[in-house]
Structure formats: C-alpha cells, structure tokens
C-alpha cells in the first residue's frame, strides 16, 4: 500500500475547512469499502418506469406495518433499514440471517419473493431479474444454497411451470477473495453491495405470471456467529432476446443491433423506424439507444442517468434537501465532432455514506452541481506521456477530476493527504465529497452501474472514461484473472492500460494495487476538463450553516 503524500486541493482551495481537518478526511486509501452494485444495464434496461416490480424500494405496507408491501417473507428474514442510519444512506430491504441462535428452526433458511402478474409474452419473452445484495462478513451457507429464482405460472397463477434458479454464494466468495483488498472498512467487513442478475426467457407463451425470489437454505452449520445477507431493489425489465429468438440460447451480447447511425468513435445511435438522424441530447428516455461498441454492443448509460438527491444533500438551490428527491436527468450526454460531452449534476446513484460525517469525519456535504466534461472520441497515444510516480513527485495527473464513470460521478487520482487512520472517511462505494461538495471515487467503485454484471467470468465491463478519451474497465481481464495479476499481453503497464483487439487501448482498475484506477494519461487530456477549464461548475453556497432539521434516525422507507 502506497502512503498518500499529496494534499488533494481543488483549484479554489479548501472552504470553511481547516487544513488539518482536510488532511484527516482526505486520507483515502486503506479502508474504503467495496460495496456496490455492479449493475446490469444493457439496452432497454432499467429506468424506474421500465421496472415491472411493484415497490422496488421495499416501502412499508401501510396495511401491515413491519412488512414491505407486495412481498412475501418466509423463514429467518427480517425487514428493516439495511445500514447504520448514522453513517450510511442505505436502502430498506430484507436481511437473510445465517448463524446460530436465530429463530426456532434448526436449519437456517428463508426467502423474500414477489409475484408479478399480467405479463404479456407477445412483445418478447426475455426478461432480466436483478436485485442489490450485500453479504455481511460472516454470512455463510453450505454448498451454493443462496439463490435467486424465477417460478413460472400461467392462467393467472393456476398452472405452474418450471423454475429457473441461479446460485449466488460462489459469487459472494469470489468477491471476498478478489475484492476485499479494495478495502474493508465500516461495519460490513468485506461486504459488497452489488447487483445480482438472472436473465431468462418465459418457457411458454402461455406464461403470464412469475414469482421472483431470493432464498437461502442450510445457513447455519459451522457458523459461530449470526450474519446477514441484505436484499433490496428488486427489478424486472424486458430485454432484447436472441435473434432469431430460440429457447435455451444465451442472449448473444455481441450481436450487432440493427439500424445503427455512427456518432463518432465507438458510438452509435440505434435509430427507430423511419429515423434518419440521432437526437441532439441523450437522457434517461433514450439512453438505451446510445450504443457503445467494444467486444459487445452495449448501452453504457442506460439505467445510469438518474439519481436521487438524498435528504441531507445540498441541491442546486444551495439548500439542504429536506427529503429525497428523484433527479431524472442527473446525467445527459451529447456529441460534437470530436467529443462525447457529458453533462452531470454529480449525484451518486447508489448507496453512500452519510455526509457530513458525525464525530469529526468528513465535514462536507454531497452537493448537486452542474458540470460538463469532454471525452475525446478518437483517443491516441501521447508519445510524451508520463506515468504517475508512486509518491506523486512528478504530478503526472492533476488533482480533481481525471475521468468520469457512466453514472456521472468523477474519478480522482490516487493521491490524498493525511496521516491518521481514514477507515471511516470513505464510504462503501469508495467515494466521498470534497471541499466543493463534489462526490468522487479514488478506486474501483463496484457500486456504479455498468452494462453487465461483472461476475468475473470474462473481461470486465466498461466503467467510464479518462479525460484523455480512453475507456476504463473493471478488474477482470479474463475468467478468474484480475488484470493486476496478469502478465504478458494481458498485463497492465504503469498507466494501468493495455491493448486488445476489441477494446483498443483501455485502462483497467486494480483493486488494492496502485494506481487503482489510472496511472497517468496515456493520451492527451481535453484541456476543457482541466482545473479552471471546466465550464458551468458551480461552487458551494457561501456561509451556509448547519442543516436545518436534519435527523439521524432511520429515514422512512421509500424508493432507493
Ligand atoms: Zn483489458
């Protein structure tokens, strides 16, 4: 682990924060949690309006207090706020409990399920069931008996068809093995908030109802302590099927969509019938048609353009938000001849820490703010590029934003300052706000949505772009192999970049290994992104006081 040496200062310098305090919370390395929701958002996915699940945020049933509306709970499960309300912005959901001394059953088992009725197979029979899960450190089952499952029914539930189940516990174990080094602070140990997903085809056109379930069994043997697996954010969305649709075929992710209009670089617009031009602006309503080509044809922004301004965050009006507000257009994008232009309000779209932190931690708020970043469409290697020295003595990368994820949250370089333990200074998603209220990542943020769930079964999906235009991918270079451990052509150089035929030059994140995200610009940064060159970013409102009426009890159940 490289000791951070350099103070992270925005061009405008710290505001309302002593340097000593700044140094303390800026130390970011050792313990940032590896939570996340590596997401699954291919074309057609997952803006809230597309979700066929009722009450995806696990709001409480007003008729049956203490239970989530529209769900059925069985066994050793508990409905509650899934985090420490003093320290985390977490969702409501259900905890599956393993370990001794829970309930009356000799064998720990339980489930959370929702039945979705009225499905119409005519527009297509392919769907994706996904949810967010977070295993606590000691959660364990025998075998692979943590599963997500879909049960099929016809005739309004009177006729039962087959089921399709996907074991998940081996993925939990893989994350613990590969990603704990990314950081394991907070109360969750090596816990990982991430998205688990199952794609399936209705087994018959007669099927009009599915039961979506997360279940576990044999959760207690050999366990010395109780532990939990958190479940929230159920989602069921239609996805494109294989062409030609054929039962049992895996959906080919590399199938080129029809009617593509080139936008520059690796980008295309998937035109509808009769359309001859691309929209000028892409937002949450058409992000599923904004296609990126690498080894797949994906829609990296689909499902990632909306976010929540959380109660306690600061909105564009400079005030502390009294309650959660949905921000549909957190990210929009457009193109000019040379650049992908990303407009972002800079709000994270995933669970975060609660900022400002209690007890002398990070004193800053997460602030909604307007920023525009330019990503070169046709990046080329800069022959004079310089890799970042491990002590940052050469200042190869600027402080402040150096790239941006597809959810509109920026990446910073590896360097922070300070000498005190920083275990509670970054949140579960490896992010925190700086003195300008700008939430940002210093290392692999598993939380961000990406087009496919990263199960380590092949090259990781796209996460975002560095300001030189080269894309940034997740940690795996091939099945079971982390890029940071790879050698030969698969290995990364000091910039954390390498080349392959499908992706060209691309960075890959290196959990637990310097420089974590990128180690310098391999290409040339668009100067409009450099400190002082960014248009439209607003600073924090001057002289704001403590937030009025901000409580630290659990927030009310609601969509997350
Ligand atoms: Zn790679």
pLDDT at 51 exceeding the cut of 70: yes
Cα 533 to Cα 373: distance, rounded to the nearest angstrom: 10
Q: Mean pLDDT, to the nearest integer, of 63-80?
A: 94
* d(CA 473, ligand 1 centre) in Å: 7
Taking Cα atoms as reference points, which of 120, 216, 208 lies closest to residue 165?
Answer: 216
- Residue 93's closest CA among 125, 153, 133, 62? 133
Ligand 1 centroid from CA 507, angstroms: 7
Q: What's residue 306's pLDDT? A: 92
Nearest CA among 98, 95, 91 for reference residue 79: 95
- Quote the ligand 1 centre to 484 CA distance (angstroms): 10
Q: Whole-angstrom Cα distance, residue 300 to residue 136?
A: 29
Is the pLDDT score of 219 beyond 70?
Answer: no
Q: How far is CA 167 from CA 20, 230, 453, in A?
A: 48, 16, 14
**Cα–Cα distances in Å, from 195 out to 126, 133, 377, 410?**
19, 6, 29, 21
Q: 97 alpha carbon to ligand 1 midpoint, in Å?
A: 37
Task: State the distance from the centre of ligand 1 to the C-alpha of 496, rounded, in angstroms.
Answer: 9
Question: How would residue 105 be classed by pLDDT, with cut points 50, 70 and 90?
Answer: low
Residue with more model confidence, 441 or 492:
492
CB 11 within 8 A of CB 400: yes
| Percentage of the chain exceeding pLDDT 90 | 50
Residue, of 24 and 378, whose pLDDT is higher: 378
**Ligand 1 centre from 547 Cα, in Å?**
44
Using the mean position of ligand 1's atoms as its centre, give its distance from the Cα of residue 350 in Å: 25
Å from CA of 492 to ligand 1 middle: 8
pLDDT at 253: 57
Using 50, 70 and 90 to split pLDDT, how confident is the model at 250? low
548 or 312: which leads in pLDDT: 312
Query: What is the 458 CA–ligand 1 centroid distance (Å)?
Result: 10
For 136-153, what is the mean pLDDT?
A: 90
| Tokens linked to 368 | 């909604």
**259-278 mean pLDDT:** 95
**pLDDT at 479 (0 to 100):** 92
Cα–Cα distance between 426 and 410 in angstroms, integer? 15
Q: Compute, in angstroms, the gap from residue 513 CA to the centroid of ligand 1.
A: 16
What per-residue confidence (pLDDT) applies to 303? Answer: 85
Neighbours of ion ligand 1 (CB under 5 A): 477, 508
Question: 535 CA distance to ligand 1 centroid (A)?
Answer: 32
CA of 211 from ligand 1 middle (Å) equals 37
Q: Mean pLDDT of all residues in the chain?
A: 80
Mean pLDDT of the region 108-127: 92
CB atoms within 10 A of CB 514: 16
CA of 519 to the centre of ligand 1 (A): 15
State pLDDT tens for residues 290-303: 999 998 888 899 88
Confidence at 151, pLDDT banded by 50, 70, 90:
very high
Distance (angstroms) between ligand 1 centre and the Cα of 387 equals: 18
Find the 482 Cα to ligand 1 centroid distance in Å: 9
Task: Tell me what pLDDT residue 247 has.
Answer: 42
DSSP category for residue 69: T
Cα 481 to middle of ligand 1, angstroms? 11
**Residue 116: pLDDT above 90?**
yes
503 CA distance to ligand 1 middle (Å): 8
Please say if the pLDDT value at position 181 is more than 90: no
Give residue 475 CA to ligand 1 midpoint distance, Å: 8
- pLDDT category at 223 given cuts 50, 70, 90 is low
103 pLDDT tier (thresholds 50, 70, 90): low
- Give 442 Cα–ligand 1 centroid separation in angstroms: 19
Of 247-256, 333-342, 349-358, 375-384, the poorest mean pLDDT is in: 247-256
Q: Tens digit of pLDDT for each residue in 185-213?
A: 443 334 567 889 998 999 999 999 999 99
What is the Å distance from ligand 1's center to 459 Cα?
Answer: 6
How far is it, in rounded angstroms, from Cα 285 to Cα 288?
A: 8
380 Cα–ligand 1 center, Å: 17
Query: Mean pLDDT throughout 93-113?
Result: 79
**In this predicted structure, what is the pLDDT of residue 416?**
66
pLDDT at residue 14 tops 90: no
Span from the CA of 485 to the centroid of ligand 1 (angstroms): 12
Poorest-confidence range of 46-50, 223-227, 359-363?
Answer: 46-50
Q: Which domains does the chain have, with CATH numbers?
A: 48-238 (2.60.120.260)
Q: Which of 6-10, 429-433, 514-518, 533-537 has the highest mean pLDDT?
A: 514-518
Confidence (pLDDT) at 104: 54
CA of 494 to the centre of ligand 1 (A): 14
Report pTM: 0.82
* Beta bridge mates, 298: 292
Round to whole Å and give the CA distance between 288 and 295: 18
CA of 38 to the centre of ligand 1 (A): 17
Asked which of 55-64, 190-199, 358-367, 533-542 is least confident by mean pLDDT, the reply is 533-542
- Cα(6) to centroid of ligand 1, in Å? 29
């Amino acid at each position: 682990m490289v000791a951070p040496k350099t103070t992270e200062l925005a061009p405008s310098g710290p505001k309302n924060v002593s340097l000593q305090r700044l140094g303390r919370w800026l130390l970011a390395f050792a313990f940032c949690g590896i939570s996340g929701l590596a997401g699954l958002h291919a074309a057609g996915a997952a803006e809230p309006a597309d979700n066929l699940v009722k009450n995806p945020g696990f709001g409480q049933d007003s008729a049956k207090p203490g239970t989530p509306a529209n769900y059925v709970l069985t066994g050793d499960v508990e409905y509650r706020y899934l985090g420490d309300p003093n320290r985390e912005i977490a969702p409501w959901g259900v905890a599956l409990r393993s370990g001794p001394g829970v309930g009356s059953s000799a064998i720990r088992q339980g489930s959370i399920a929702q039945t979705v009725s009225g499905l119409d197979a005519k527009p297509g029979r392919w769907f994706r069931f996904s949810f967010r899960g977070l295993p606590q450190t000691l959660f364990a089952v025998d075998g692979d008996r943590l599963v997500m499952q879909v049960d099929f029914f016809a005739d309004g539930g009177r006729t039962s068809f087959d089921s399709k189940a996907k074991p998940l516990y081996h993925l939990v174990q893989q994350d613990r093995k590969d990603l704990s080094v990314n950081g394991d602070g907070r109360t969750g140990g090596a816990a990982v908030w991430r998205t688990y997903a199952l794609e399936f085809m209705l087994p018959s056109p007669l099927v009009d109802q599915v039961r979506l379930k997360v279940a576990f069994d044999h959760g207690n043997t050999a366990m010395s302590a109780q532990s939990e697996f958190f479940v929230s954010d159920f989602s069921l969305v239609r996805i494109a099927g294989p062409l030609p649709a054929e039962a049992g075929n895996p959906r080919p992710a590399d199938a080129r969509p029809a009617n593509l209009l080139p936008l520059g670089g690796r980008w295309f617009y998937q035109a509808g019938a009769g359309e001859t031009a691309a929209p000028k602006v892409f937002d949450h309503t058409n992000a599923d048609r904004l296609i990126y080509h690498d080894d797949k044809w994906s829609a990296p922004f689909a499902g990632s353009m909306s976010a929540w301004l959380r109660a306690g965050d600061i909105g564009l009006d400079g005030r502390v938000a009294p309650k959660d507000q949905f921000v549909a257009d957190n990210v929009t994008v457009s193109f000019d001849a040379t650049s992908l232009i990303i407009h972002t309000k800079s709000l994270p779209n995933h669970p975060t820490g609660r900022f400002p932190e209690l007890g002398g931690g990070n004193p800053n708020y997460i602030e909604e703010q307007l920023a525009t970043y330019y990503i070169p469409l046709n990046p080329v290697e800069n022959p004079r590029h310089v890799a970042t020295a491990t002590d940052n003595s050469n200042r190869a990368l600027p402080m402040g934003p150096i790239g941006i994820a597809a959810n509109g949250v920026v990446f910073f370089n590896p360097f922070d300052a300070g000498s005190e333990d920083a275990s509670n200074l970054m949140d579960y998603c490896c992010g925190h706000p700086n003195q300008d209220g700008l939430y940002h990542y210093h290392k692999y943020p598993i939380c961000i949505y990406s087009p496919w769930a990263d199960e380590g079964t092949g090259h990781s999906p796209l996460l975002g772009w560095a300001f030189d235009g080269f894309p940034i991918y997740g940690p795996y270079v091939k099945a079971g192999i982390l890029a940071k451990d790879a050698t030969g052509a698969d290995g990364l150089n000091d910039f954390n970049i390498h080349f392959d035929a499908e992706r060209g030059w691309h960075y890959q994140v290196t959990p637990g290994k310097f420089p974590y995200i990128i180690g310098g610009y391999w290409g040339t940064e668009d100067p409009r992104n450099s400190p002082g060159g960014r248009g439209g970013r607003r600073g924090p409102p001057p002289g704001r006081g403590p937030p009025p009426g901000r409580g630290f009890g659990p927030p009310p159940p609601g969509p997350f």
